[in-house]
Amino acid sequence: MWYSLAIIIANALLASSVWALPDGFVYVDQEIPGIRVELLYASSNNFVGRPINGYVSKKAVLTKPAARALADVQADLKLFGLELFIFDTYRPQRAVDEFITWAKDLKDIRTKAEYYPRVAKENLFSEGYIADRSGHSRGSTIDLTIVSSSSPFKPLNMGTNFDFFGSESWPKFAGASPEQRANRLLLRTLMLKHGFKPYEMEWWHFTYEKEPFPETYFDFVVD
C-alpha cells in the first residue's frame, strides 16, 4: 500500500516539474485577467490544418516584461470600449519544426485557398512567411488583434484573417480600405507606445523590444 502511494506521489511531483513554467515566464491571464485568447495552433483552424505539436493546452504564456507591457496596451484600449484578442504567444520550437516539415511537403496544399492563394508553397521560406527560428519561441512575441468589449464581441476589420500569407497582410498594404488602415494603425501605435516592435509582413505580429531572452529558443510545453 505504502509503495503504491509513494509511486503516485512521485509521479505527481514529476508531472508538476515537467509542466512548470521556466523562471521569467507567466500565464498571460495572470497579468491581464479576462484577456481573450484563442490559440489557433491548438486547433485545426490554422494554415497547417491540424493541431500543432507542442500545443497541449490553450493557455497563453509570455515573458513577464512582455505580459506586463501588454497589460498596459489592454488598459489603454479598455478606455474606449475595446480590448485585445490573442492568437498566439510563446511557441515551442517543436511547433516551428512542424511548420518547417509541413512547408517542405509540397503535395499538401489543403489550406492554400484560404491562407496563401497567391504564394507558391515552395516560396514560403524565401518570401519570409516561414522560418526555421521564430521570435515566438523566445517568449516575447505575440500575434493579436483588437475586438470590441461588447457582448458578443466583434473584431475590428483588419483586412485579412490571422496568418494570411500575402501582401494584403502587410501593415502598410496600399490596397487596404481607410477603415482597415486606421484599425491597423491603432494596434500598431499602441503596441509601439508600450515597447513592442512590429513585423512589416504581418499586421498582427509584435515583439517586445526589451525581451529578456533574445538569443534563447525554448521548447517547453505549456500544460
Q: Which residues are catalytic?
A: 202
Long-range own/partner contacts, residues 152-156 (CB < 8 A, 24 or more apart)? 153/36, 153/83, 153/85, 155/85, 156/82, 156/183, 156/186
In the chain, the amino acid numbered 17 is: S
Rounded CA-CA distance 123/177 in Å is: 27
The string of DSSP codes covering 36-60 is EE--GGGSS-SSSSSPPTT--S---
Three cell numbers written together for 65: 516584461
What gap in Å lies between CA 71 and CA 84, rounded to an integer? 10
Question: Counting every residue, how long is the chain?
Answer: 223
For the chain, the distance separating the N- and C-terminal CA atoms, rounded to the nearest angstrom, is 30
DSSP codes of every residue in 103-142? HH-TT--TTHHHH-TTS-GGGTTTTTS--SS-GGGGT-EE
Contact in structure between 86 and 37 (CB atoms under 8 Å): yes
